[in-house]
């Protein structure tokens, strides 16, 4: 039989060798009845201990090759069945997994929404997460939804899976996920728990997402500068391959092309990915050479890069340089810039995104499938950092 699934390369250790050999046997159709021998029988066949077999089976179950049921036996898992046709179905489990497209039967009157805060250090001391949770909490007061907070267990996917097995939420929401935490999503899917996430980092992982509309926000911010009379509008953006920066660049380019046709590529300045770590010498050269009269800043933390220029008097905001930035903290940068003047910001709709988590959960409870992508509009919040271009 020919299979399209590639056997993982041989790694060091007896457990990995046993794992590899079992995968080969599964792919080659050794277990035609869909049932695997006992750990003792396999141990005798391979000449290793039962503990080694059990450890290998643990990895195979995580990867979807087998399904182990306490007191019943070990059966071919969903991944194995992708390589075979005509295999008999495995014996019914004690509980039938829920369909991930929409719930059909609920065991209780209240809908259990589990929330996992990422990244893996599980810090709630994060303004982004705090605003998301605030929106969730406020919206839950108006819906019959119970909120349960589940930590990411430091990235230990086995421990995370055990917590999910105990809780068995009706829906799991990941807040502020990063690609490094994707194994936790795999565990939730293995347990047939429907999921959604906020933000853009998991856009390629086929999971329903609730995102800020970065394209619309950047368009609105750029248009506000254009209405003030600016043409030389620079765009500061982290040089990092992430969807949110692509979205914000697209919005900036869209507004600039609508207003002026061609777009001067020299108006782009790419900053370092670390917060506030733009190369100041390069930024100084760029400001002097390109002479932008306004800046649209894709990442709020890059506002800190202007502090040196404001302190030296090389830049005066908004007299010589108008500024609009993505963030939701209009007053946060006053001390950084040495001025009580609040910034004009493109407000990240974090509370609304949190509320949208609950709204979608409530709709999901009634049988409505989760939409693949929900965009929440950003809002342009006026400050005092936009003025007509200087005639210097």
pLDDT at residue 123, as a whole number: 65
Asked if pLDDT for residue 89 goes beyond 60, the answer is no
CA angle (297, 299, 305) in 5-degree steps: 70
DSSP state of 181: G
The whole-angstrom separation of Cα 268 and Cα 236 is 6
Please compute the mean of the pLDDT values over residues 361-383 and round it to a whole number: 95
| H helix count then E strand count, the chain | 13, 15
The angle that helices 182-190 and 157-167 make with each other, rounded to 10 degrees, is: 40
- What six digits make up the tokens of 330? 């209009």
Q: What domains can you pick out in the chain, each with its CATH number?
A: 14-81 (1.10.10.10), 111-212 (3.40.50.2300), 214-348 (3.40.50.2300)
- 8 Å CB contact between 323 and 306: yes
pLDDT (tens digit per residue) in 204-247: 899 999 999 999 999 999 999 999 999 999 999 998 889 999 99
- From residue 15, give the alpha-carbon distance in Å to each of 29, 37, 73: 21, 17, 20
Instruction: Show the beta-strand stretches assigned E in 37-182.
Output: 66-69, 73-76, 111-117, 145-149, 171-175
| Weakest mean pLDDT among 19-33, 208-222, 374-388 | 19-33
- What six digits make up the tokens of 337? 């810039």
pLDDT at residue 279, as a whole number: 84
pLDDT band at 390 (very low <50, low <70, confident <90, very high): confident
pLDDT (tens digit per residue) in 109-142: 568 899 988 765 666 677 888 899 999 999 998 8
Beta carbons within 8 Å of 363's beta carbon, 6+ residues apart: none
pLDDT (tens digit per residue) in 308-347: 898 898 999 999 999 999 987 766 776 677 666 788 999 9
- From residue 42, give the alpha-carbon distance in Å to each of 56, 74, 186, 320, 342: 11, 12, 28, 76, 69
User: Could you tell me which residue, 178 or 212, shows the higher pLDDT?
Assistant: 212
Cα 19 to chain center, whole Å?
A: 31
- What six digits make up the tokens of 53? 């077999």
Asked if pLDDT for residue 7 goes beyond 80, the answer is no
Tokens 């005639």 correspond to 391
Asked if pLDDT for residue 300 goes beyond 50, the answer is yes
pLDDT band at 294 (very low <50, low <70, confident <90, very high): very high
In the chain, what percentage of residues exceed pLDDT 70? Answer: 82
Mean pLDDT of the chain: 83
Q: What is the DSSP string of 334-364?
A: HHHHTS-PPPEEEE--HHHHHHHHHHHHHHH
Asked if pLDDT for residue 264 goes beyond 80, the answer is yes
The whole-angstrom separation of Cα 256 and Cα 270 is 18
Cα 286 to chain center, whole Å?
A: 33
The whole-angstrom separation of Cα 214 and Cα 377 is 8
């Amino acid at each position: 039989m020919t299979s399209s699934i590639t056997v993982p390369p041989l790694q060091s250790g007896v457990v990995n060798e046993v794992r590899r050999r079992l995968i080969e046997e599964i792919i080659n159709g050794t277990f035609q009845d869909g049932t695997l021998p006992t750990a003792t029988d396999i141990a005798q066949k391979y000449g290793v201990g039962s503990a080694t077999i059990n450890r290998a089976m643990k990895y195979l179950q995580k990867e979807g090759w087998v399904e182990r049921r306490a007191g019943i036996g070990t059966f071919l898992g969903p991944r194995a069945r992708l390589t075979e046709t005509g295999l008999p179905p495995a014996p019914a489990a004690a509980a039938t997994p829920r369909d991930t497209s929409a719930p059909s039967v609920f065991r209780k009157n209240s809908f259990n929404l589990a929330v996992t805060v990422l990244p893996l250090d599980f810090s709630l001391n994060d303004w982004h997460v705090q605003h998301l949770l605030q929106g969730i909490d406020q919206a839950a007061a108006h819906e019959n939804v119970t909120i349960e907070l589940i930590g990411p267990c430091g990235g230990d996917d086995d421990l995370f899976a055990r917590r999910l097995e105990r809780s068995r939420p009706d829906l799991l929401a990941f807040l502020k996920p990063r690609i490094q935490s994707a194994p936790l999503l795999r565990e939730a899917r293995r347990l047939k728990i429907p999921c959604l996430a906020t933000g853009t980092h998991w856009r390629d992982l086929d999971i329903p997402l609730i995102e800020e509309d970065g394209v619309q926000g950047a368009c609105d911010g750029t248009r506000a500068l254009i209405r003030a009379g600016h043409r030389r509008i620079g765009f500061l953006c982290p040089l990092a391959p992430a969807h949110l920066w692509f979205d914000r660049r697209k919005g900036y380019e869209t507004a600039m092309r609508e207003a002026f046709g061609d777009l001067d590529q020299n108006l782009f300045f790419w900053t370092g990915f670390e917060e506030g770590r733009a190369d100041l010498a390069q930024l100084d050269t760029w400001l002097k050479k390109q002479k932008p009269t306004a800046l649209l800043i894709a990442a709020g933390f890059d506002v800190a890069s202007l502090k040196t220029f404001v302190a030296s008097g090389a830049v005066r905001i908004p007299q010589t340089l108008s500024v609009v930035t993505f963030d939701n903290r209009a007053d946060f940068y006053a001390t950084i810039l040495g001025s009580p003047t609040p910034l004009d910001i493109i407000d990240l709709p974090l509370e609304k995104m949190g509320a949208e988590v609950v709204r979608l959960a409530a709709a999901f409870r009634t049988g409505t499938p989760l939409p693949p992508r929900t965009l929440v509009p950003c809002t342009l919040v006026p400050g005092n950092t936009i003025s007509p271009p200087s005639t210097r």
